[in-house]
Amino acid sequence: MFSFLIDPKCLKEGILSPIVIATLAAMALFFAQIKIPAVLLDSMQYVADMNTPVAMMIAGFSLAQTDLKSIFTHVRLYWVSFVKLIAVPIGVLLFLWVLRLEHTVAYTTLIASACPVSATTTMMCIRLNDNYTYASEIFSFTTVFSIITIPLVALAASFLL
């Protein structure tokens, strides 16, 4: 699981990944207050606008390869969903209640913690040659159940925050 801590090749690959390089470049541009020309900015915006649709397509393709009956009979999915959609938001809610942060900040943080597993999980599993069908099952399962849990978390927040 933590092979990157041992293997220098994996560490080098991680540090030189496009995401890390792009993040460092973005931070440099931000702190140096360098304005990007409109032509480049528009091009980047077109690519950024494709992020969510492409992620949904990849998650959908991998989900199409799974057996829907097995998803609802897979006991571990219920446990993962409980932890992600109920236990974590309750923990975050209690933490935010103790901190007494400004309402908008606390509420936004809480709702973000109550959201389902992202499609990025499936894409990372595909990239790392891991069990992408299981990741896709978790993605779809938590998305369906978040329809119920997010309003419940928001209701609980209305009493505590």
Specify the pTM: 0.71
Tens-digit pLDDT string for the chain (161 aa)? 555 456 778 778 878 888 889 999 999 999 999 998 999 999 989 998 998 898 888 878 877 877 778 888 889 999 999 999 999 999 999 999 999 989 999 999 999 999 999 888 888 888 888 888 888 889 889 988 999 999 999 999 998 88
Of 91, 87, 100, 106, the C-alpha closest to 149 is: 87
| Residue 49: both structure tokens together | 């606008």
